[in-house]
Amino acid sequence: MDFTSSDVYSQLKRETLDGVDVVELPAGSTLYRTDPPGRETPPPSLELFLGDKQMVGEFYGSKGSEPRTLSAYTTTAPANLMVLTLANLKSLATGPDRSFVTEWYLDYRTRLPPRIFETMAGEMAALAKQPEIPIVVPAKPLPKTSEYANYTNRELARIVCKRGFDGWIVFPNSVVEYQPSTRVAAIYSAEVMLCKGAEVATRTPLTGARRRRSKTGRRARARTTRRGRGRS
């Protein structure tokens, strides 16, 4: 299964196990990633965030100041992935992880003004009609644990991994990202996170370094109501 575009995600079969939506990613699946020169081979213990080739290509652009290399990662074994949904996030908010998951992925959602979704346009408007969409709120990076940046999604990835999953999957048009500093909402890009990615996927370099576009080119953005409040 070669993730050349986001259309490939629809070929995956979702099922429910012990009340959690999961997907089995077949062995031999190929996903894509960009990395800075000198860090093209992440440590085996590091979580890998991967995407389809079309989406990753937007990162691998001609604008910006940081050069990137493009690689393909092919899985060597089947991977049991948790689907990133609001219900699944709620199931993670237990024990020592309750505070972190609740603060960054649950509580914030209840504080967004209802009219924020009424201002979304196009495909965002269709997504906004769903009552149970997860919302990701970008935050300042957390303290680094290696040469790779640590941030809220990497911390959430570790929580998912220690619960026994092989990673997570975000389906297209299923998650909203909200940026409180600019009061902008956007569709969060489809992606696959693999726990210990370098141990379960083989990297194939595809290109040399090019300069990278701004992250704003990655998502279709829509201005939201000025009544939105939150951390900057």
- Which residues, 6 or more positions from 110, have their beta carbon under 8 angstroms from its beta carbon? none
Secondary structure of 73-131 as H, E, C letters = EEECCCEEEEECCHHHHHHHCCHHHHHHHHHHHHHHHHHCCHHHHHHCCCHHHHHHCCC
- Which residues, 6 or more positions from 229, have their beta carbon under 8 angstroms from its beta carbon? 111, 113, 180
With the CA atoms of 157, 220, 217 and 202 taken in that order, what torsion angle do they form, in degrees rounded to the nearest 10? 40
List, for residues 124-181, the tens digit of each pLDDT value: 666 666 667 777 766 555 555 555 556 778 889 999 999 999 999 999 988 888 776 7
Q: Is the pTM here over 0.85, yes or no?
A: no
Q: How far is CA 75 from the centre of its chain?
A: 18
Q: Quick one: pLDDT band at residue 35, thresholds 50, 70, 90? A: confident
